[in-house]
Structure 1
Amino acid sequence: MDAGPGHDTMGPSGAMNGKPMVSILLPYRDTAHTLDAAIASMVDQTFADWELLLIDNGSTDAGPRLAHAWSRRDPRIRLLSEARKGIAHALNSGLAHAQGRYIARMDADDRSHPDRLATQVAYLEAHPEVAVVGTRTTFATTVDRSLGMASFVAWQNTILSPHEHYVKRFVDAPLAHPTVLFRRELFEHHGGYDTGPLPEDHELWLRWMAAGVRFAKVPAELLIWNDHAYRLSRTHMNYSLDAFFSTKVKWLARWMRRTLNGRPVIIAGTSTLCRDRAAQLEAEGIAIHAFTDVRPRHLPGLVFIPHHALPSAGEVFIVSFISQRGTGDRVATYLTSRGLVEGRDFILAG
């Protein structure tokens, strides 16, 4: 029989002896066409001390039958069912049942390299100062117009060190959710996934980073990220541009309140979008002093400072809301050439 809501069932061999080192959370709903390959990629890991929690989130296809078949073949696979719709609910159910010292994420759309867990466990064992480690990803797609997603993955793959993850956290999610391995005490101390209408992974990263949690990424591409027209990141309102920005602006404002030390705030970017985002930041309690751009702009009722006339490091704090991919890096390069330090004197949040 199927597991009931929040209920945990085991394969026929009974309870596991001892606790596994890694608990893998794999939620699924109506993904039977890719689920088998995703599960197989975890079963084929060279690191064997794991449990795989398959969390059915209301599937109406053959996915649950596939999951049951796998659990009968491998006693390390446990079946969960979460009736409340939404990946955040499913993941929180998984966290509540996880036994491992480390928690790994996996999506039903993707495939992991056989050495993924071995590499990530070794990294966390060797780096006690880091609590979350991701991997680079290999991008695969069946969508004709996928340049934006491909560029996003390429950008994520450039971010490796804890410092890079920290200073780039307001640009976008700096690491792919299905690649992460993290220490279980993180959700015990800082909470699990927010179930509101927001991107649950980026919100979690911002919340944990605000608490001082250090993130890193191994340089190997250890997950094939399969992009398709029906992937949640393309179809669900929780992953819209507005949802991402309304989530990160709250954490940006909280961080700025702690770090501004009276410095006036200047917004880089004068487009309608940049001014709308500046208004959202003001609504979070951050006063905007002026705007800047590479070309002169007339902004009725607003202060404009030409980019070549910006004050020196330590005198102001600059937030770039320019969202075009690549432009933020050029902004950072220019400000750095003026002696400003990213994460101290300016931040990219486009």
Structure 2
Amino acid sequence: MSSNDPVLEFEAATPVVSVVMAVNRDDGFLTSAIESILTQSMQSLELLVVANNCSDELWAHLQMLATRDTRLRPLRTPLGQLPYNLNVGLHQARGEFIARMDADDLALPDRLARQLHFLRANPSVSVVGGNYEHIDERGHLIGQPTSLRLDPDKIHERMPYESCIPHPTVMMRRADAIQVGGYAYGLYAEDWDLWLRMRRAGKRFANIPDLVLLYRIHAGQSTSLQAARRNIANVQALLLRELILTANPTFALSMLRHLGFELLRIAVALTRRVFPKRGVSQ
């Protein structure tokens, strides 16, 4: 090939957006998730797939996919902790902007282009999310979450109570995430934790009204009571930290609200176990 070959020029170019996906197993949706990024309408991107604590078979599959498109960059780590592996991707990324992607979802074709356009048009915003719909294992639409808050000021006001920015839909400025230390290890609310630390650093957030992602609900996702208790512990610790650091009583109210909601959810789950639904008697 000559030095003017467009493929060589494309491979050498620095991508504008780095998409970070962490995966430790393939529930049958990984290839589709990867293809939904590599077929985006914007092409100046790279996809970093951080394979963590994965099988050799999964690693070989990722390497095979990478031979088909040089924008796919598989990375491998022995640790299965999500925040650590997201930080690996954040550190290795070459793009000015970071987009998150999960290994079982589908990005709509214009997702990255729409979010990139928004961030470039709104330089004061560090993180932008977008709307999504729920799909099942077969890709059938099964529901749409409540509408997202769009205005940065309203998001700033509400963030002590909830994350506000759907993590799988996020695009953010890499430098701003690194400035606050990236993702924190050991937390299961790793997105909300990062947003709150960025909020304290004066960063702004927004959501665009556009539908950007299909969020898949499937049997492989963790829904156990142990996971629910773990979530309570981590979120309560997160909110207590913010209460101590900011002296903002809003975080105390949020602790009570979140604890009540999660305990109610556990009670409902336990009730369903003890009293399973029975068929209607004839």
Q: Shorter-chain TM-score: which interval?
A: 0.7 to 0.9
Q: Given that residues 27 and 220 in structure 2 are in contact (C-alpha distance below 8 angstroms), is that contact kept between their aligned partners in structure 1?
A: no
Uncovered stretches (5+) of structure 1, i.e. residues with no partner? 1-12, 269-273, 279-319, 326-350
Equivalence map 1:106-255=2 (5 Å): 106-141=101-136, 154-155=145-146, 157-232=147-222, 236=227, 240-255=231-246
Q: Post-superposition shift, 1:237? A: 6.2
Q: Secondary structure at the match of 1:59?
A: coil
The yes-or-no answer on 1:16 pairing with 2:37 is no
Q: Deviations over 1:26-80 (max 9, x none)?
A: 1111125110010010011001100111110011274323311221000111110
Distance 2:21 2:207 in 1: 20
Q: Given that residues 31 and 61 in structure 1 are in contact (C-alpha distance below 8 angstroms), is that contact kept between their aligned partners in structure 2?
A: no
* Count of aligned positions: 251
Distance 1:108 1:224 in 2: 12
Look up the equivalent residue of 2:89 and give its one-letter code. G
Match of 1:77 in 2: 72
Q: TM-score, normalised by structure 1?
A: 0.64
**Which one has more relative contact order, counting CA pairs under 8 Å at least 6 apart?**
2
Match of 2:37 in 1: 42
Distance 1:48 1:177 in 2: 22
User: Residues 221, 62 of structure 1: CA spacing in aligned structure 2 closer, same or farther, 3 A cutoff?
Assistant: farther
Q: Given that residues 98 and 171 in structure 2 are in contact (C-alpha distance below 8 angstroms), is that contact kept between their aligned partners in structure 1?
A: yes
Q: Given that residues 197 and 238 in structure 1 are in contact (C-alpha distance below 8 angstroms), is that contact kept between their aligned partners in structure 2?
A: no
Q: Which has the larger radius of gyration?
A: 1
Q: Given that residues 133 and 216 in structure 1 are in contact (C-alpha distance below 8 angstroms), is that contact kept between their aligned partners in structure 2?
A: yes
Q: Secondary structure at the match of 1:154?
A: coil
Q: Given that residues 198 and 247 in structure 1 are in contact (C-alpha distance below 8 angstroms), is that contact kept between their aligned partners in structure 2?
A: no
Superposition RMSD on alpha carbons, in Å? 3.0
Match of 1:100 in 2: 95
Look up the equivalent residue of 2:120 and give its one-letter code. E
Q: Post-superposition shift, 1:109? A: 1.2
Q: Given that residues 112 and 224 in structure 1 are in contact (C-alpha distance below 8 angstroms), is that contact kept between their aligned partners in structure 2?
A: yes
User: Residues 198, 176 of structure 1: CA spacing in aligned structure 2 closer, same or farther, 3 A cutoff?
Assistant: same
Q: TM-score, normalised by structure 2?
A: 0.79
Look up the equivalent residue of 2:22 and give its one-letter code. P
Q: Deviations over 1:266-323 (max 9, x none)?
A: x87xxxxx9xx56xxxxxxxxxxxxxxxxxxxxxxxxxxxxxxxxxxxxxxxxx6685
Match of 1:25 in 2: 20
Q: Deviations over 1:2-28 (max 9, x none)?
A: xxxxxxxxxxx8993131101110111
Identity of aligned residues (%): 29
User: Residues 138, 62 of structure 1: CA spacing in aligned structure 2 closer, same or farther, 3 A cutoff?
Assistant: farther
Look up the equivalent residue of 1:184 and give its one-letter code. R
Match of 1:297 in 2: none
Uncovered stretches (5+) of structure 2, i.e. residues with no partner? 1-7, 263-282
Distance 1:27 1:169 in 2: 25
